[in-house]
Structures are given as C-alpha cells and as structure tokens.
Amino acid sequence: MAEIDASSAEQQPLLGQNGTAVPRADDVPASAASGPPSFQRNLGAVEAFAIVISIVIGSGIFTSPGAVDTNVPSPGAALGVWLVGGVLAWTGAATLAELGTAIPGEGGVQPYLQYVFGDVFGFLAAWSWLVAIMPATLAILSIVFVESLSSVTVGVSTTASGGQPLVHKLLSILVLLIVTLANSVSTRASARLNNFFVATKFIAIGAVVVAALAVVVKTATSPPTELPDWRGRNWFDARPTLNPDGTTTDWTQLSSWALLGHYSAALYGALWAYSGWDKAVYVSAELREPARQLPLAIHAALPTIVVCFLAANAAYYVLLPWSIVSTTDSIAVTAFSRLLGPAFGFAAAILVCLVVAGSLLGNSFVSGRMAVAAANKNWIPSVFSVLGKLGLPASGSATVDSASATDSDAPINALFLSATIASVYILFGNFRALLTFNGLGEFTFFFLTVLGAIVLRFREPGLARPYKPLIAAPIAFLLVSGFVVVRGAAFAPAQALILVVLWLIGLAFYYRPRSAYMAWSDEK
C-alpha cells in the first residue's frame, strides 16, 4: 500500500471546507488573505513527479504478486494483469486530474461525487473509506508485517498456505496498536517518523531487480545442469496453480465466466499495489501551474511505476520456482531466503517490514483525520473529533482546546476507532479476502467518480477544465473498472454482501433523526 506524507495529509479535509466544492484554484489568488489556510504554490513538475512516485509505490509490490499469480494460468498472464492494472490507474489518475483542476476540493473522490450526484453519494464514499477501505488497508498491512517476519522461518507465509494462525492475528493487532500509539503522540512526531520510511521502498525494489539480474547473468555464464523455470518453460503456457486452501486449479477445465472471475481477483491484487494513484491530484494545491504540471507529472510518473512493477514481478519469476510464487504473500522475503539463505531473508524481511511500517503509519494517520472530518460534519458521533486526549471532551464541545491541556494534537479517539474496526477485519478476515474487499469498495466509487466526469462533459460543457484528456481515457476506465466490480462481486459474494450491509448502515446514519442525535451529542 502507498504512503501519504503526514505533514500535508493533516491539511486535507474529507470534503473540503464546509463539505462543498470550492472555486477553482486558478480563480483564487494564492496569497488571498481570507478563507481557510492554503498551501504555498512552490512545487514544479519534477517535485510533483517525485511525490506521485512516493505515494503510489508502497508495500503492495512486495506482498500481492502471490495473490495475482494464484488467479492466472501463467506468469505471462500475471504480467499482463499488472500491465492492465497500471493502465487502469493511469487513465483513472488522468480523469481525476480533469476533475481536480475543474472542481478543487480536498479529500479524494468525495467532493467530486458530491458535486455531480449530491450529498448522499459524497457521504457514502466518505463512510466507505472510514469503515471499510481504510480499516481493511490497515488490517492488510498489519497482517503483512507479521507474515513477512514469519516467512523467514517457515519459508512461505502462512496466509497463503493455510490461513493465518490466531497467534499471528493477535500479533498483527499488536503491531497495529503500536502504530496507532505512535500516531497518537502528535502530528509533528508522526510526520518525522513517516519521513524515515520514505527511502526504504526504493532500496527494496532495487534489491529485488538487482538480485534477478545477477541470477540471469550467472545462468548465462554458467548454465546449470537443470534449467530453472524461467529458462526452461514457456512463460505463457498454462500450468496447474496451487491455491491458498491447498487445492489446485486446472485452468483447462474452467469456463470463460469462471476464468474471468479469477482474472478479476488477480486484478484486485495488482490494484492494491497501484493503490494511491487517486492521491496524485492532492499535489495540485502546491503546484505553481497545476493545469500544466499535474498532467505532466501523472503522465510521467504512472508509466515509470508500471515499468518498475513489471520489472519487479518478472524478477520474482526469475528468483523463485514458479510453483512457489502463488504460495506466498511475502514474496520478496521468500525469494531472498531461498536464493541467499536465512540471513539475507531476514535482512529482506526487515527491509520489507520497514516499507510496510511506513505504509501502516501513513494510512493510520490519514484514517484518523478522515474520522475527525466526518465527525465535524456530524456524520458520525462528535466524540471522534476530540483532539489530544482519549475519551470525551472536558468541556461541552467535542473539539476541545487540547493545545492548552496537552502537547498532543492527535485525534486519538479517531485513531483508535480505525484501529478497532481494522482489528475486527484481522480477526475474521485474511490477506487475500481483504484485498478483494478493499478493491470492491474502492473501485465502486472510482467507477462512479469517472462516470461523473463523463456526465459533466455533457451536463456542464461550459465548465472550465484547465486539463481535459481525450474522452477515451475515462471511457476505458469506466468499461474495465465496471466489469471488474461486477464480476468481482459475483466472484466474492461474501465481501460484496458485507459492503452492501455497511452501506445500508451508512444510509441509516445519514438519514437518522438529526434533532435527537444532536441532543445526545450535546449531552455528552
């Protein structure tokens, strides 16, 4: 998963000021004295390129290749899925750039959905990120942290080979609790800790690719008696694949509809690694010329990321026997353990854990701010807007003057709300089921957002659009993502049902009697 810079994330409200779309950034002078504080416009295209790279490249490239390989018939097909996922992220980011330069409003897709379809759609998107997408992300990362260390001793992660044991689940919850406590110290402490983890992801990817190149060179100069899979087998020939439950998939026996279901599940695994492309629009508030520099950054960064991910996945198939790839959710650690021994495997595990810890810290940070913003809008109980302390505010107001009582400005109640929901997902879910659950939730609203962009092309043709990609980009995203959501829901009905139930609960919150709720909130 992708990290978000903690120092800027604090300033990104869920739906912008007052929950409505604001005038275009180009219409408001950067130095305007009135209105909410704004970012300094001092970034160029190069800085924006680096920020997008940093946001998108996270822990997914070290964890989800096994989930992709399990659901495709060949390594070549797996690389094709990674390519499709990258193109999907690219077209989605380009469409959000159109919306972001036409309808500024911080907090992801919520302000765009609110502008196009109304308040209830904006609320449901925010609600989904609060109770499903962000907690599922925290659960996935906590599980991966524990399984990365575990895989050093057992060779492959237990999540893929038989389900996570209870002791591992409890350790995952402990890791999540530690990160939550770290974010509870203060915003400044979170920002400094987050910066420590930034470089680890690039070092880890570089190590994987360099190791694979070394194997290729060694095999070319000193051919072994028995050729490895990557040299002796066709990368596009179907082969039986071992599933997490111990069964084997014979791809020749599947119908086209079942095969498409597997490809949908594989794509969710790849999209987890590309997660964060929707955050690219966040940097527009700090660009000197957002209409020109944001598209330039996206169209340079996304292809670079796709190439990196394709190279890393090809490297995994060089480093490991192909029968192993589908059985691990800690593929980088497994590869180094088998190639260079336990000591290097442990070093790789530490490196991957640092990447995961950075992702976990950043996502926990943002999830707390999302809950505060929702509480400030009276969408969830106002106790979750309390800053600097755990529990109810000392005064009648939920947003206490925490600075006068403590040095902490962290939303501790909100942080523990996210951690509690994520702990439930850890206890009752598993890595690969949560990947699909996360993907279904995210891409339902990404689909609606891109649909909204197309609707606006016809409903408001005169809307100022400083950046306007060819309509083929949003249409391509709409077709692929729509199919992936529908087929993914049919392929994973349990996860889809849970999402529907959560949406119904969200609607009950949205349409609850406001007078009774406000009276309860004031009492507290």
Distance CA 429, CA 14 (A): 27
The rounded distance, in Å, linking the Cα atoms of 102 and 93 is 14
Predicted local distance difference test score (pLDDT) of residue 395: 54
Q: Which pLDDT value is given to residue 184?
A: 75
Task: Note the pLDDT tens digit of each residue in 12-40.
Answer: 333 333 434 444 444 444 444 344 434 45
Mean pLDDT for 415-426 is 92
Q: Does domain 6-28+40-523 have CATH number 1.20.1740.10?
A: yes
Q: What is the pLDDT of residues 145-177, one digit of tens each?
A: 888 777 665 544 545 445 678 888 999 999 999
Q: Give mean pLDDT, residues 285-290.
A: 71
Predicted local confidence at residue 107, as pLDDT: 52
Range 90-114 average pLDDT? 80
Interhelix angle 342-376/200-221, rounded to 10 degrees, is: 150
| pLDDT on residue 41 | 66
- For the record, the structure tokens of 352 come out as 């991957």
C-beta atoms surrounding 220 within 10 Å:
9
Binned at pLDDT 50, 70 and 90, residue 85 comes out as very high
Characterize 290-319 residue by residue with b for buried, 16 or more Cβ atoms within 10 angstroms of its Cβ, and e for exposed: bbebbbbbbeebbeebbebbeebbbbbbbb
Chain segment 465-506, per-residue pLDDT in tens: 888 888 998 999 999 899 889 988 988 899 999 999 999 999
The predicted-structure confidence for 358-413, as pLDDT tens digits, reads as follows: 778 777 877 777 787 777 777 777 788 777 667 666 554 444 444 444 455 677 88
* pLDDT at residue number 501: 95
Instruction: pLDDT band for 453, please (50, 70, 90 cuts).
Output: very high
Alpha-carbon span 178 to 185, nearest angstrom: 11
> In this predicted model, what pLDDT tens digit does every residue of 115-127 receive, in sequence order?
899 989 989 988 9
Q: How confident is the model at residue 447 (pLDDT cuts 50, 70, 90)?
A: very high
pLDDT (mean) for 292-298: 83
Pair of tokens at residue 278: 């929707």
CA atoms within 13 A on the CB side of 5: 14
Confidence tier at 235 by pLDDT (50, 70, 90): very high
Q: Looking at residue 285, what is its pLDDT?
A: 61
pLDDT value of residue 196: 58
Using the Cα atoms of residue 67, residue 72, residue 78 and residue 80 in order, give the sign of their dihedral: negative
DSSP code of 287?
B
- pLDDT for 192 equals 56
The pLDDT of residue 380 is 78
The H or E element spanning position 242 is strand 241-242
